[in-house]
Structure 1
Amino acid sequence: MTKRVYVIASFNTDGDTQPLWLKLSLDKDAPCYKIENYICTKKPDKYREYAQYRCTVSCKNQRHEIGLNYYALLGFWTMTVSNSSSMAM
């Protein structure tokens, strides 16, 4: 399953992006997930318009493995998880 999500990230002058926090919605009661670990598996190039990340996120003593895609030109993130994951809601 793929859905749009909201990410707080850090950017540097070399063009690298580090995802830090994740929210599934902008509701004030929505949980905020800390991105514990990430690996940038693919960077954008002339054939791909997004960067791809594999991440481990945690919230309330639960850990989840997710995929994140960052579309820099459009300014938004998408999350990919298996349909059986509790984050697929």
Structure 2
Amino acid sequence: MTKRVYVIASFNPDGKVMPLWLRLSLDKGAPAYKIIDCKCLSMPNRYANYADFRCIATAGQHTHEVTLRFYAQECKWYLTVNNSSSLAVE
């Protein structure tokens, strides 16, 4: 399952990006997930205009392994999770 999400990220002077926090929606009660580990799998190049990240996100006692895709031109993030994940239902 893929869906648009909202991410707080850090950017360095070289243009590298690293996601720090994740929210599934902007609703007031929506949980915020802290990204505790993240690896960049691919950076934008001439064939693909996005970066892929494999991350471990946690909220309370719940931990999820997710893939985040960042489209730099549009400044939008997308989350991919297994359909059996509890994040797929939220």
Aligned equivalent of 1:82: 82
Matches within 5 A, 1:64-83: 64-83=64-83
Note the aligned Cα RMSD (angstroms): 0.4
Displacement of 1:77 after TM fit? Answer: 0.1
Q: Number of paired residues? A: 89
Question: What CA deviation, in whole Å up to 9, does each residue of 1:9-68 have, x standing for no partner?
Answer: 000111110100000000010000000000000000010010000000000111100000
Structure 2 counterpart SS, 1:87: helix
Partners of 1:16 and 1:73 in 2: CA distance: 14
Q: Which runs of 5+ in 1 are unaligned?
A: none
Matches within 5 A, 1:11-26: 11-26=11-26
Q: Stretches of 4+ moved more than 2 A in 1? A: none
Q: TM-score, normalised by structure 1?
A: 0.98
Query: Percent of aligned positions with the same letter in both sequences?
Result: 54
